[in-house]
Amino acid sequence: MQHLHIFVDEFGNTHLNLEKTGTFSHYVLTAVLIEEGKLEQARALRSAISQQYFQGHPIKSSRLSNDDAGFRKRLAILKEMRQLDFLVLSLVINKSKITGEGLGQKDIFYKYFNRIFLKQFPQNFTAFSIHADGVGWPEFKRDLHHYIHNKVIQRDLFTPDRTYQLVEDRLEEPLGQIADFISGCLGKIYCTSHSHEKAAFLFDLLHDRTFVDFFPFEKTDFSLAIPERDQEKNELIAKIAAASAREALAGGHKFSDEAQAVLQYLYLMFRTAPDRLVEKYEIIDKVKIAYPNFTEQQLRVCIQHLRDNGVLIVSIQGKSGYKIPDRVEDIAGFYNRYLNSIVPMINRINICNRKLMVSSLQEVDMLSANASYSLLHELIKALDKDKQSLY
């Protein structure tokens, strides 16, 4: 592999007070990876985009307006950038999940998450140069530069061809502008406080080159282990679930605007990170952008309505959040979640009914006496039969 050039930029800020107006819900670190042999092409492309879309000024995501015209220009620029062979790695940090006072300090925040994000490069590549957007005051830049070199880069006699430098993307390293722009696009996908309603179009242009991690890192090791031979079932489940979401979105008249917004976001996350369970508050924050009075209770109603109409949306036993399923474990976790709720409920009804029957010498037998309860009665009988086989 050729020497790799890694251009790093950010979207968002380090402020953890999410109630403050304008504060970003997420902080996004983005790295654009370009091989050294492609640098000349990259510089020519950057210059052409700068001339065509920014009147020769630096390419900056924030320079584009958030209206339809600005978004169309953003899509056009991304299509131009796809002429270049590059890879994108990103870390999306959910600031609402950050605990501890230390990370509330800007310098500690930068060091901590840059170390987490950048350590993947010495683990995966031998020769590289990291060009990171310069942030903060001069003393902090020197401190950050020293910290990354000593804690992350791990340059030694066997791997001497590794560097890290903080640069100003206007003059020192204009290719950093590509990372700035792509980071801004990813921010409009993943940062719920600043996301764009048409973020799916950005995703379509980036997904085949982009790998995204989420902090806190979420585990997806469900309790039910499925053998490798069920991979075919996993693919079939993902295909059926995706089709159920697309059909519902196409026939959106069945659902409220809020329900459509919920499904659009879950479907975007399914296409972006299918393993990930999306937290309730994250969905609510996203929907509130368009519908400020949206509540957790309304979210439950939306999910129920979507499920009742055949959209496959699961919540997993022992986990928090929702997702569109893409594997057998998702379905098993979903069934187990309900099983662990339904069975105790039926048992409690059985205990109540039994208490009434015994205490009243069977004169009060609601389940047998009322035809409306026949199904419930049969379920209790089945559970009692199952208990017999266990003991």
Residues 260-312 pLDDT 10s: 999 999 999 999 888 899 999 999 999 999 999 999 999 999 999 999 999 99
Which region, left, alpha or beta, applies to residue 22 given φ > 0 means left and ψ of -120 to 50 means alpha?
left
* pLDDT band for position 241 (cuts 50, 70, 90): very high
Per-residue pLDDT, 390? 42
Per-residue pLDDT, 366? 82
Average pLDDT over residues 361-385: 80
- Of 26-40, 172-186, 256-270, 343-357, give the lowest mean pLDDT range: 343-357
Residue spans of the domains in the chain: they are 4-215, 222-391
* pLDDT band for position 7 (cuts 50, 70, 90): very high
Q: Is the pLDDT of residue 226 over 60?
A: no
Provide the residue type at 81 as one letter.
M
Distance, in Å, from the CA atom of 263 to the CA atom of 261, rounded to the nearest integer, reads 5
pLDDT digits (tens, 9 = 90+) for 88-131: 999 999 998 888 778 888 889 988 999 999 998 888 888 999 99
Whether 323 contacts 314, CB under 8 Å = yes
Structure tokens at 55: 């009147």
Question: Positive or negative, the Cα torsion across 142, 170, 160, 127?
Answer: positive
Q: Give the domain 4-215 fold.
A: Nucleotidyltransferase; domain 5 (3.30.420)
Per-residue pLDDT, 292? 94
Q: Is the pLDDT of residue 224 over 60?
A: no
Structure tokens at 287: 């929907």
Share of the chain above pLDDT 70, in %: 91
Instruction: Encode burial over 67-81: b for 16+ CB neighbours within 10 A, e otherwise.
Output: eeeebebbbebbeeb
Per-residue pLDDT, 218? 59
Q: Is the pLDDT of residue 67 over 50?
A: yes
pLDDT digits (tens, 9 = 90+) for 10-57: 999 988 988 888 789 999 999 999 999 999 999 999 999 999 999 999
Query: Nearest-CA neighbor of 300 among 340, 342, 259?
Result: 259
Name the average pLDDT for the chain: 87
Distance, in Å, from the CA atom of 9 to the CA atom of 255, rounded to the nearest integer, reads 39
